[in-house]
Amino acid sequence: VTRRSIEHTFAATAARRLRRVRDLLAGNAPDARRFLGRELHALSGEAMFLGFTTVCDLVRRAEELAAAWPGTDDAEDAAGPALRELIDAIAGALPPADTADLAAAPRAYIIADCVAHAWVLRDVLEHEGVETSVATDTERLLQIDPAIVICNVSTAQRLDPIVAAVRAMTRAAVVLVSSEPLESLAGDAARLGADGFVSTAAGLSAAVTAIKEHLA
Partner 1 sequence: MRILLVDDSPLTLACAEDALVAAGYAVRCASDLSELDGLDHDVDLVLMDVVMPEAFGDDVAAMLRGARRLAAPILLLSSLDDDELKQRVAEAELDGYIPKSAGIAGMVEHVRAFLAARETGR
Report the nearest approach of partner 1 to the CB of residue 40 (Å): 11
Q: 129: helix, coil or strand?
A: coil
Contact predicate 208/124, CB 8 Å: yes
Q: Which of 141, 121, 130 is nearest to 26 (CA)?
A: 141
Looking at the Cβ atoms of 50 and 147, the one nearer to partner 1 is 50
Q: Which is nearer to partner 1, 12 or 144 (CB)?
A: 12
- Shortest distance, CB of residue 60 to partner 1, whole angstroms? 9
- Taking 3-state DSSP, the helix, strand and coil percentages for the chain, each rounded to the nearest 5, stand at 65, 10, 25
Residues near partner 1, by CB under 8 A: 1, 6, 9-10, 13, 38, 41-42, 44-46, 48-51
Quick check: helix, strand or coil at residue 109?
A: strand
Q: Shortest Cβ distance from residue 9 to partner 1 (Å)?
A: 6
How far is Cα 213 from Cα 61, in angstroms, rounded to an integer? 42
Shortest spacing between CB 213 and partner 1, in angstroms: 27
Nearer to partner 1, 49 or 191 (CB): 49
Our CB check for partner 1 shows the closer of 48 and 82 to be 48
Rounded distance between C-alpha atoms, residue 186 and residue 194, angstroms = 9
DSSP state letter for 216: -
**46 or 188, CB closer to partner 1?**
46
